[in-house]
Structure 1
Amino acid sequence: MTAETVLSNARILLEDEIVAGSVLLRDGAIAAIDTGPSARGEDMEGDYLMPGLVELHTDHLEAHYAPRPGVRWDKTAAIQAHDAQVVTSGITTVFDCLRMGSDEDGGFALGEMRAMADALSNASGDDRLRAEHFIHLRCEVSTADVLDHFLEFEDDAQVRLVSLMDHAPGQRQFQTMEQYTLYYKTKRGLSDEAFALFVDRQRALSDRYAAPHRAAIAAACAARGIAVASHDDATLDHVEEAVGYGVRLSEFPTSIEAAKASHGKGMSVLMGAPNIVRGKSHSGNIAAKDLAAFGVLDVLSSDYVPLSLIHAPFVLAAEVEGVTLSRAIAMVTATPARTVGLDDRGRIAPGLRADLARVRHGGGDARAVPVVRSVWRQGKRVA
């Protein structure tokens, strides 16, 4: 039996324009787009109708699973809570970050993230989830056991993205000791002596492991056709290294020079949506709006606040000259989907998946928090 739904009287966000009209959904896909008013179907009351958001980098599942130091929540319950929050933020495709590699600064025991991935697969199979979930492995290449963690996923088809990270002092995100001291010494409450020892250990680990682990993981991803992301690139040398590893996504570059070079090499440059909403980076690096103004911002990620992914495009369109709302929404829909090879979603066009979000936004205040009123995944209402 053919299943049809008509969503009428909407402001439809296409990739390059906004049109008033209706969208016909048939058997889980977008069948047609009609312009003009209509008395047929469900009245969107002039709200925006946009593609379901595509989230490539969120650490939020970890926050549900490990809500306090030493606390581990039931995995299925954590997954369902996370899934509910991302869907009601308009996200229909989410890449859940699982950390690979553990050290004294944190991480998870060997087997823990493998069990989480199995719980994700089971939750999907049991029809518990409203968004579609893939896995993004965040590989801390300077840890001794990162390859052991990574090898637990060597046959997992859920893995569609892998990022190569090194958070050691003097590397990438922490180019200056001032930033590193604030982030680690203050957060951990270390004495001067204890912090000095901690820094020495982290540098030694990076010197020993980062390069060989980075190369091994990149080679494994190339063999399996998994998209690779660089992380916190700061210099032109970092960008050239990323090019050599076939990187498609430059996550959170920490300098304008690196962002421009990555964009110029054909990588999608990703920054945090919270950075847009706050107007600055939480770790003291470059502001994402600056990259947007230079025309080198391609993708936004909610990172640690799911609702920021729908909030940030409205702020960006209002506050950065030359960035239209359609272009800003593409940063959370079409471009991230293309970057990881998901060509069946991210746009409102005939033949693509009917992954959609109905969003109301108070036009009088550019910084007003949008309201996600309804969400459809493959034509089925999920929120």
Structure 2
Amino acid sequence: MTGWSAVAGTHAFVVPGEEQARALAEDLAAYGFALVTARPARQAAGWAVMAFDEGPYPPDAAGHRSIDAVGRQAAAVARRHGGYPDGGSRCDPSLLERIRPTGAPIEHTNPGARPPVPDIVIGEAPPPASLTLAPDQVRDVPIDLSGLDEIAWADLEHVHGPADDVPDLVRALADPYGDWESTLDELFGDDLLHQGTCYTATAPALPFLTRMIVSGALPAKQRLDLHVWLLIAAGRRAEGLLVDADRAAVEHRPPTVDEMVRQVHYTVGAQLPVLLARWDSEPAAIRYALACLTALYPHHAHPIAEHIADMAAQFDGTQPGAYLNLAHALVRSQDDQALSIATDIVGWEPDHNPALLDAPHVPAAVKASYILTEGALRVLSTTP
């Protein structure tokens, strides 16, 4: 998977203070890590504790799953000390010594030790299936961008600061014969959803994507690209709740996301009725994206719930079919079934992070919707 001879890495945690850091470092060393260090955290309140996992683990999917599973077990130890996971690293074992910190005020060594490694079985993935973009109909009609200049974009922000360049980028995007991919990547991949982060300008820009889609002026591939960005935007809420879950648990509060993420999630949901009205006229790849997007907003699902079931049956036994079954369970509010399907998917899709299924105090539907969103995006990335 990586070209490494084997896999090693680190597991990082944050605890409230020095007393907890000393206790956690001692417990992690006793658990089997050959080296554990702790020092005051640089980017969070409290102390940072790092366990060095020498492995070695095989450099394949099972190996990566194994070191991740060890990290999940270490996280359970950290929770007993009021700690939460804070990332880590993966590398070739030969590189591990290079990232060993110097001068850490707390250090425990346990030479030759290795933490227990659970048995990992990667399930057999169902086969892929083609999601077509045909037939397609395109009309030579203008795209309604009215109101674009009435928004105070200069008072809003994206990753680079004031968002006063957004109107020109939106207009460039509305030209189906322009530099489509570069413009779309600049507008959303770089500016408005940079590395998945939402900004004050993100939500106000999203309705213009919907106008481009429903105008009928864009070819199917470009409409699909816009659906993908709507799905990415809508998925930030579930991801944010899962990322915050461990820290929220030790701080005795529910997981939260910031107001910009909430606004983005709400704004995408508000676009759904007009997008779903095009279900019958869209090709399979776009219907698939719509099905997965609708699963994040079950209250909008009534018009197409049975269509999602029919599409899931059509793709039964394939990877798109698995995610459509998950989408159908979510739109039917069968949350436990959705989580069960999501867990099965995680068993055969190594790119999913099983640790997120352990997130405390996060509803089953949120966990399942995250697995759906990430998996749906992977499936759509293979659409010609």
**What TM bracket, shorter-length normalisation?**
under 0.3
Which structure carries more helix by proportion? 2
TM-score by length of 1: 0.27
Larger radius of gyration between Structure 1 and Structure 2? 2
Which structure carries more strand by proportion? 1
Higher relative contact order (CA 8 A, sep 6+): 1
TM-score by length of 2: 0.27
